[in-house]
């Protein structure tokens, strides 16, 4: 028994060992080479919320807070904060020595502008949360007060860089945000400054010598390399050109080989805040997808277990419904859509499906997604649903989703630690608006669901919220507005000479401020 325990302890310590061995004193200097996949459309994190944009821009821009791996808030641009007894007044005290990359001081006016003006206009996800905010005021240069209309459960979880990045008021005020030339040369407060973007090749950021945290960052510079081919990314890592392969940047079947290399470390940490949830967009507006039974048939037709094993190397978990099982409001008792082609055929027959073919638009995020589309296309064809594949690039895919010009497509979205932040946005009818591929793209509208999500967001305490979320999950699983696929897991693979790479709940999307390279 003792021996067994010892072995277990050793096994538990093993993955950590490559981080902790000789992790005595961080050394300054060095260049970090990271892969970014695919190339981001822009680095303006306040306007674009794609994963690759956040990955790079998370080093340039900052939010008021960051979150540790248990999702507990930590100071960043705000040094402290407090709330009133009833949870409706939140006061943030800002750090006083912070400057923008162009030298101008960062003050409470920037916070008010960023949240109340800029992000309210550009970020539909945050806009939804800001509905609960009555006013944002700045009593002095280093104090910001958020006055809420009513308590909002996930409020303190909103302040991460990707959700609520601070943008410089002196550059953006009074301009058209989307066309402001500063979007091409982002100015933030982060530990690294934007230097150069060679389109199709790399993005380069250099150390911010005036960073507000003493002694940070350790690294001199970071390169994000754009390498469009998955096999080439693996080779670049093997040859040492690349130090970090963020989750999802190599093909899944390459992962065991790469992690087996000498001096190669792997971690699945750094996704706690996001809990990426993959699903099939189903355009509820068009026949035959407008029929609930058709959508249920899709759920029964898809062999998700196969996809998980064949395409994701066994990583991940089959998604039962809209809320990730990693979130506390997940309902264990949801019914399962197990793989059952016969049931799917029955449902199609019952609705009188006439064989109208539907369009299937794969997500252009690499080969795993392309293969996944092929697998689902085959699953669907076996129950009698014919599909036409639509080929697009990233820009075209964003465009078509934003314009609702699709029948079936893929996406994976982040949950942000709370259903009120990352889940309701895809299902409430207020969020049906052309122009964004991240909102209620499927066009699902159900008053009951709207109301439940609304109540659950402000209910108190958590047990009351859980009850409401349970109801909403059951309704959604019955209606199948989208076809849930997998709770994704993206292991990050990196050279063991890099230490402290991931030290928050947003992993590689956070700044590499505390990361250092063993010299």
Residues that bind another protein (CB under 8 A): 229-231, 234, 251, 253-254, 257, 303, 306, 310-311, 362, 367, 370-371, 374-375, 377-378, 381-382, 388-391
Beta carbon nearer to another protein, 142 or 312:
312
Helix (H) or strand (E) holding 202, with range, is strand 202-207
CA 323 to CA 329: how far, in whole Å? 7
DSSP 501: -
Q: Are strands 78-83 and 73-75 parallel, antiparallel or unpaired?
A: unpaired
Shortest CB 388 distance to another protein, Å: 7
CA 119 to CA 124: how far, in whole Å? 8
Helices 292-301 and 367-382: crossing angle, nearest 10°? 110
CA 55 to CA 458: how far, in whole Å? 31
Shortest CB 309 distance to another protein, Å: 8
Beta carbon nearer to another protein, 68 or 382:
382
Beta carbon nearer to another protein, 54 or 368:
368
Quote the distance between the C-alpha of residue 319 and its chain's center.
16
Shortest CB 197 distance to another protein, Å: 24
Beta carbon nearer to another protein, 251 or 442:
251
Shortest CB 124 distance to another protein, Å: 29
Beta carbon nearer to another protein, 283 or 387:
387
Beta carbon nearer to another protein, 53 or 379:
379
Shortest CB 378 distance to another protein, Å: 5
Shortest CB 230 distance to another protein, Å: 5
Q: Could you please report the per-residue DSSP string of 210-248?
A: T-SSTT----SEEEEE----HHHHHHHHHTTS-SEE-TT
Shortest CB 492 distance to another protein, Å: 20
CA 503 to CA 6: how far, in whole Å? 28
Residue tagged 């750090």 (tokens): 95
Report the greatest alpha carbon distance in the chain. Answer: 70
Beta carbon nearer to another protein, 127 or 371:
371
Angstrom distances, CA of residue 172 to CA of 117, 119, 161: 10, 11, 18
């Amino acid at each position: 028994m003792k021996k067994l325990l010892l072995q277990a302890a050793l096994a538990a310590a093993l993955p950590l060992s490559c981080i902790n061995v000789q992790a005595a004193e961080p050394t300054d200097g060095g260049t970090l080479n990271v892969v970014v996949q695919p190339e981001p459309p822009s680095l303006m994190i306040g306007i674009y919320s794609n994963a690759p944009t956040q990955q790079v821009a998370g080093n340039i821009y900052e939010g008021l807070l960051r979150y540790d791996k248990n999702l507990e808030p930590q100071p960043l641009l705000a040094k402290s904060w407090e709330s009133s007894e009833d949870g409706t007044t939140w006061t943030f005290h800002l750090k006083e020595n912070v400057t923008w990359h162009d030298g101008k001081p960062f003050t409470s006016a920037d916070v008010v502008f960023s949240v109340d003006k800029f992000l309210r206009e550009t970020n539909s996800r945050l806009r939804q949360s800001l509905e609960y905010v009555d006013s944002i005021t700045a009593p002095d240069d280093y104090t910001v007060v958020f006055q809420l209309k009513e308590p909002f459960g996930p409020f303190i979880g909103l302040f991460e860089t990707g959700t609520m990045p601070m943008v410089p008021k002196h550059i953006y005020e009074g301009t058209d945000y989307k066309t402001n030339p500063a979007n091409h040369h982002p100015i933030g407060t982060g530990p690294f400054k934007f230097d150069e973007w060679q389109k199709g090749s790399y993005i380069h950021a250099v150390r911010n010598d005036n960073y507000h945290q003493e002694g940070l960052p350790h690294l001199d510079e970071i390169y994000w390399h754009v390498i469009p081919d998955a096999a080439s990314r693996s080779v670049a890592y093997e040859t040492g050109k690349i130090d970090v392969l963020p989750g999802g940047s190599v093909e899944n079947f390459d992962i065991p080989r790469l992690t087996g290399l000498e001096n190669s470390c792997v971690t699945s940490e750094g996704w706690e805040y996001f809990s990426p949830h993959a699903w099939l967009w189903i355009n509820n507006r068009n026949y035959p997808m407008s029929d609930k039974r058709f959508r249920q048939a899709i759920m029964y037709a898809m062999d998700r277990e196969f996809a998980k094993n064949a395409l994701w190397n066994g990583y991940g978990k089959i998604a039962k419904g809209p809320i990730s099982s990693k979130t506390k409001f997940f309902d264990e008792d949801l019914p399962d859509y197990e793989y059952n082609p016969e049931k799917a055929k029955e449902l199609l027959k019952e609705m009188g499906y006439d064989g109208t073919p539907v369009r299937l638009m794969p997500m252009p995020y690499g080969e795993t997604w392309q293969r996944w589309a092929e697998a689902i296309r085959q699953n669907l064809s076996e129950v009698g649903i014919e599909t036409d594949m639509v080929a697009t690039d990233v820009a075209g895919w964003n465009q078509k989703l934003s314009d609702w010009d699709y029948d079936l497509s893929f996406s994976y979205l982040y949950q942000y630690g709370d259903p009120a932040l990352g889940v309701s946005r895809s299902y409430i009818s207020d969020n049906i608006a052309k122009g964004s591929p991240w909102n209620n793209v499927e066009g699902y509208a159900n008053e009951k669901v709207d109301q439940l999500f609304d109540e659950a967001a402000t209910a108190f305490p958590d047990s009351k919220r859980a009850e409401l979320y349970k109801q909403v999950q059951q309704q959604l699983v019955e209606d199948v507005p989208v076809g849930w696929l997998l709770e994704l897991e993206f292991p990050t693979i990196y050279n063991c000479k890099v230490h402290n790479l991931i030290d928050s709940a947003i992993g590689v999307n956070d700044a590499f401020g505390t990361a250092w390279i063993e010299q």
